[in-house]
Amino acid sequence: MKFRLLAFSLAIAVSSSAAIAEPSDSVLAFSTDNDLFAPTQTDRDYTAGVAITYSSNSREFMNNPVSRASQGLDNLLSSGFHTESGNRESAALEFGVYGFTPEEISATTIDRTDRPYSSLVYLSSSQSYQGLGEGSGWTTSMTVGMMGLDVFKSSQDSIHKVVGSDQARGWDHQISNGGEPTFRYSAAYHHYMGSNEPNQQVKTTYFGSVGYLTEFGAALVFRGGLISSPDNRFNPELMAYGERAPGVSAVGGRESYFWGGMSVKARAYNAYLQGQFWHSDHELSANDLNVLLAEVWAGYTYSFGAGATLSYVLRAQSSEIKNGTGNRTLAWGGLVFSKRLGAR
């Protein structure tokens, strides 16, 4: 019921605004991640995710009920940037699901030295703001969701049955099994360097979040080639596993460019490994986890006719777990197909 309610809320917000938003300002994207998309082709850690994202800079969409709640939280918590309507540049809503598994998925017993099963069904609202100074900006995101539902488990079982892979048999031990509400709020400051160069863009980002992922860090991001989409909708450094909003690029013309970056972060809490308030059969303690993490990524974006764009990205992150079976580098790949609404 709660999964259907989240999907219904996103559908209402998108459909009510899409009809009145200017076509050139609105993008609908479908994204999917899988560790099988990486060269290592493993089936563990952040194993897969699926999301639908709608992004627009129309005033009507930015004032939908979900975005207004997120913007109200920005006003309440943040004083480093202006949140008046004149300074908001775009907003995004994203609905998705993703999950994590240990290395040995065919076992029913728990490997206490590996990561637990965990999953999230979520709705995220994000906004981009113009910075106080030239060449700067802010993005914020509010995510609500449910951990521990059977949505990801059922999807994984169906896909593995079709492709003939081993069934994951430990989902009864996942974090917050049965469903537990969760929340995350994040904010990031961007400094754009060389933004006057049409074929090369570089920026630094300083970010932080509180909630099921509590962390802060810094990132260096670049892209080079044929670029026509705006800086404020290109934020690959803000991906939190499967969550991309507001990282959907709005195409203003033909595009063909490579992009990449790196980030370092200090993470104080990870609910996917440590659990939340409710009991979980398998949880790791803070002493089991690395505080400092590094992440690198590289991708390519190409636009087709009628405002359609396809992107591929490969990501790698240093180990989240200090010792044992779970002490390994994470790697996964992702595909994003986006369509500029109204383009011909």
**CA distance readout (Å), 61 to 26, 101, 236, 244, 280:** 9, 36, 23, 18, 39
- pLDDT tens, N- to C-terminus, the chain (344 residues): 444 444 444 444 444 444 333 444 788 999 999 887 888 777 788 889 999 999 888 888 888 899 888 888 888 876 555 544 447 788 899 999 999 999 998 888 999 999 999 999 999 999 988 876 678 889 999 999 999 999 988 888 777 777 667 778 899 999 999 999 999 999 999 998 865 567 888 999 999 999 999 999 999 999 999 988 877 778 999 999 989 866 555 556 788 999 999 999 999 999 999 999 999 999 999 999 999 999 999 999 999 877 889 999 999 999 999 999 999 999 999 999 998 886 55
pLDDT at 234: 87
CA 272 to chain centre: 15
Beta-bridge partner residues of 53: 29, 94
Residue among 147, 127, 152, 166 at smallest CA distance from 275: 147
**Residue (of 315, 311, 306) closest to 337 by Cα position:** 311
DSSP 213-274: EEEEEEEEEEEEEE--S-GGG--GGG-BTTB-TT-PPPPSS--EEEEEEEEEEEEEEEHHHH
What pLDDT does residue 325 have? 95
Phi, psi of 282 (to 5 degrees): -135, 115
User: What's the start-to-end Cα distance of the chain, in Å?
Assistant: 38
CA-to-CA dists, residue 23 to 13, 57, 95, angstroms: 16, 10, 21
pTM flag (> 0.75): yes
SS3 110: coil
- Could you give all domains of the chain from N- to C-terminal order, each with its CATH number? 2-340 (2.40.128.140)
